[in-house]
Structure 1
Amino acid sequence: RKRIRAAQGIPLPGSAEWLVPPGGLEEDLPALDIGRDWFDVLAAAVTLCGGETPDLFRRETRPATEERRDERGQWRGVATPGVNDVSEWLGWGGMVPPAEGNAVLELRSAALRPEALPPEAASAPCWRVHSTAQEDAAPTFDADTRPSLFVLCGFLGSGKTTLLNAIIERQRARERCVGVIQNEIGATGVDERLVGDAAPVLAMDEGCVCCTISGNLRAGVRELMARANPEVLILETTGLANPMNLRIELEGLRELARLAAVVTVLDSLHGEALLAESELGREQVRGADVVVLSKCNLASPGQRLGLQAAAKALNPAARLCESGAEALPPELLPLFDAAGASQGPLRRMPGAHVSHADEGFSAVRLFLPRPVPRADLLLLARTCPGSPFRVKGILNTLEDGPILLQGVGDECTVEPFAGAAGEAAGEAPAFIVCIGRELDRQALLAHWANAGAVEEPPAAG
């Protein structure tokens, strides 16, 4: 240990108490243990690169002094029983270290057996990495080539795809390939078109990955890995997916990918109402390793604090972070940037877990074969019968050409749509998807008939 003793002590300013009593230790640092951690990593790297374990271990000891500060504030070294400098040598390829003191222990080649080493030295990883001499040698530093798998959950319109695009942009800047599996409850997907060519995307539409198309995820991961060999995989679930129902699916992916984390996005504007009304929304929070409160720049301080408290009450163990104008919270950077260790399968929770069908959620898709005035589209989206929770689509306007329309509750926005990768703007059939509880398909069809909506896509050509 590195020790500094204050002979006169160190008083606590403005108090009769002592910060360090006279003759007490001002510093007592476990220098050997701290240095050993660094030394073990360096030695393991040499073994890993050289492909062989050390053939020399040598430990030397020398008397050392304890530093003391006298009453004049001057330093002096005082020989103290039990205080020593300890040096350790490891050698590869027959190297011979210089003698600097009294060798307490020196082992070479055949005599260099783990049981002959001091316990703290025998446990170092340099003795096991790339060791083929023993069949039971532990592969401590074996490379795990499986991609990290992140599951991105969150209720309808919470901002999952916005966060996804920010993650992809960050990883592309670091020259890391991200593969995306996007699942949407509607038969025609919108979200995969929003990623464009930023990352290889596999769309899994026609149902929810945790129930109606359960069993397809493994095949999807295999396809995406064969196509792009990504370092990071992100499964963006439908807004109605319950991560608690994904446990069996994810456990079946162990040989293909390692589960890094389940990230749930929670809308700060509507989150409190969602958690109060929907067991599905609550399950999305309970099943998360990380909960991201989105749109915090638009929420009031009361909304943010209330949602934080509600999320913590449901899942005290989850990491909580906020996003606003910047979609990717700084706290998430280490999680996605590092090839972190697997979190393992989703935590087991007793009892049955709710699905979107249990709460009456469904999706209705309609096609709009002709361009419509932009103002008419906005009015139709905001006045849908049955008050769908989510309205989204890619539509053609008379004024602006193709647009992306997205609505959550009473909010509705449009923006120009340039087309997905390999698809010219306006090339695919224009469509609208409404998602909500107990939706009346015929009522929605009659409502959107004012814009020429039909149930089947128009014939090509």
Structure 2
Amino acid sequence: MKDVYLFSGFLGSGKTSLLTDVIRQFKAKGLKPAVIMNELGKLPFDSQAVDRDVPLREMLEGCICCSGAEKTEAQIQTLLMTAEWDVLLIETTGAAHPVEALDAVYSPLFAEQLNIKGIVTVADSHLWLNRQTLTPQVRTLFMEQIRHAHLLLANKMDLLTEEEQARAVFEMQGFNGSAFILQTTNGKVPLSLLERMEATAQIPKEQIEEARIGKQLTLSSRIVTFERSVTQESFEQWVRELPDTVYRMKGYVPVEGVKHPMLFQYAYGMVQWLPEFMNMPPKLVLIGDNIGDVQVLGIDR
């Protein structure tokens, strides 16, 4: 399996500085990174910082999440088929919500080929202390990116006094108690810290397969593999009983009386079924908080 890191953070937080330094560290270790970068504009300014020998895919004028999810899946599939690489680094736009970004990169089509190490959020510590100056919508996104991080970089510490540094870290830790917080300048983080992250891991071969979830993490993902068909009614009943902490589900569900597994998508209580004209693998990916506690046994009855 190939490791995947997702770099999140608000506009101007220092994600590209983090990306270039991590690329350097991986290459120094003899590993070949690949990169997917997402930018809101028409010109790939940030991608100019990536060395030419690094496999790179760009997504311009859009978001890696939401409507861009299918494009992201296609980019990853292309990298898997056409390029040689050891680890994938995905830099999202500053306007991306981390849950939606994780959803976009964790497709049931190649979930077993990738090991999602987790979300690294770069937080502008100065902006955190002045977050009340942001509009409500922008402030909500900024804080959501921090709340869902597995590893949180309290960046731009050089701009703060010692008292401000202590207050920023204390407040962030209280807001996201499950993330390890590292104080940084210019987004520099030891590679060893990244490699110790664990959002998902090898999948055991069982009737219902699930990714082992790192107990210290909150936002994570899980894979369910169906060995038999289900009725649409019983499956939707199971969906209705899920806790609110399940944010996203997508995959292919084998339904009784239907030739091929149907494409199923779920987002914040909304359900969508679509017919599939190819025999896709009967796998479902769940994304949410404390997803390891969700009861999945019985949905294949």
Answering whether residue 118 of structure 2 is matched by residue 261 of structure 1, we say yes
In 1, Cα distance between the equivalents of 2:131 and 2:45? Answer: 23
In 2, Cα distance between the equivalents of 1:175 and 1:189? Answer: 27
In 2, Cα distance between the equivalents of 1:248 and 1:328? Answer: 26
Answering whether residue 12 of structure 2 is matched by residue 164 of structure 1, we say no
Conserved? CA contact 2:10–2:95, under 8 Å: yes
Q: Which residue of 1 aligns with 2:200?
A: 342
Tell me the TM-score normalised to structure 1 length. Answer: 0.41
Question: 3-state DSSP class of the match of 2:113?
Answer: coil
Conserved? CA contact 1:152–1:236, under 8 Å: yes
Conserved? CA contact 1:322–1:329, under 8 Å: no
Q: Which residue of 2 aligns with 1:284?
A: 145
In 1, Cα distance between the equivalents of 2:73 and 2:4? Answer: 12
Q: Which residue of 2 aligns with 1:189?
A: 44
Answering whether residue 164 of structure 2 is matched by residue 303 of structure 1, we say yes
Q: Which sections of structure 2, spanning at least 5 residues, go unmatched?
A: 202-210, 214-218, 222-242, 248-301
In 1, Cα distance between the equivalents of 2:154 and 2:196? Answer: 22
Cα deviation, residue 300, structure 1: 1.7
In structure 2, relative to structure 1, the CA distance for the partners of 1:350 and 1:189 (3 Å cut) is farther
Q: Which residue of 1 aligns with 2:83?
A: 228
Paired AA for residue 95 in structure 2: L
Conserved? CA contact 1:187–1:207, under 8 Å: no
Question: 3-state DSSP class of the match of 2:4?
Answer: strand
Conserved? CA contact 2:6–2:102, under 8 Å: no
CA-to-partner distance for each residue in 1:315-344, whole Å, 9 max, x for gaps?
Answer: 10001001125x4233xx224456967265
In 1, Cα distance between the equivalents of 2:45 and 2:171? Answer: 31
Q: Which has the higher contact order (CA 8 A, sep 6+)?
A: 2
Q: Structure 1 residue aligned with 2:183, among 311, 314, 322?
A: 322
Q: Which residue of 1 aligns with 2:275?
A: none
Conserved? CA contact 2:3–2:87, under 8 Å: yes
Conserved? CA contact 1:298–1:324, under 8 Å: no
Paired AA for residue 350 in structure 1: D
In 2, Cα distance between the equivalents of 1:151 and 1:320? Answer: 16
In 2, Cα distance between the equivalents of 1:276 and 1:351? Answer: 29
Answering whether residue 152 of structure 2 is matched by residue 152 of structure 1, we say no
Q: Which residue of 1 aligns with 2:264?
A: none
CA-to-partner distance for each residue in 1:233-263, whole Å, 9 max, x for gaps?
Answer: 0110001111122343343141331101110
Question: 3-state DSSP class of the match of 1:213?
Answer: helix
In structure 2, relative to structure 1, the CA distance for the partners of 1:352 and 1:188 (3 Å cut) is farther
Q: Which residue of 1 aligns with 2:269?
A: none
In structure 2, relative to structure 1, the CA distance for the partners of 1:280 and 1:239 (3 Å cut) is same
In 1, Cα distance between the equivalents of 2:20 and 2:53? Answer: 8
In 1, Cα distance between the equivalents of 2:54 and 2:69? Answer: 24
In 2, Cα distance between the equivalents of 1:185 and 1:322? Answer: 28
What does 1:109-120 align with in structure 2 at a 5 Å threshold?
Answer: none
Question: 3-state DSSP class of the match of 1:312?
Answer: helix
In 1, Cα distance between the equivalents of 2:196 and 2:52? Answer: 24
Structure holding more helix per residue: 2
Percent identity reads 28
What does 1:75-94 align with in structure 2 at a 5 Å threshold?
Answer: none
Paired AA for residue 30 in structure 2: E
In structure 2, relative to structure 1, the CA distance for the partners of 1:339 and 1:305 (3 Å cut) is closer
Q: Which residue of 2 aligns with 1:366?
A: none
Question: 3-state DSSP class of the match of 1:216?
Answer: helix
Q: Which residue of 1 aligns with 2:293?
A: none
Answering whether residue 56 of structure 2 is matched by residue 201 of structure 1, we say yes
Question: 3-state DSSP class of the match of 1:218?
Answer: helix
Question: 3-state DSSP class of the match of 1:212?
Answer: helix
In 1, Cα distance between the equivalents of 2:150 and 2:87? Answer: 17
Conserved? CA contact 1:260–1:341, under 8 Å: yes
Conserved? CA contact 2:4–2:117, under 8 Å: yes
What does 1:440-455 align with in structure 2 at a 5 Å threshold?
Answer: none
Note the aligned Cα RMSD (angstroms): 2.6
Tell me the TM-score normalised to structure 2 length. Answer: 0.61
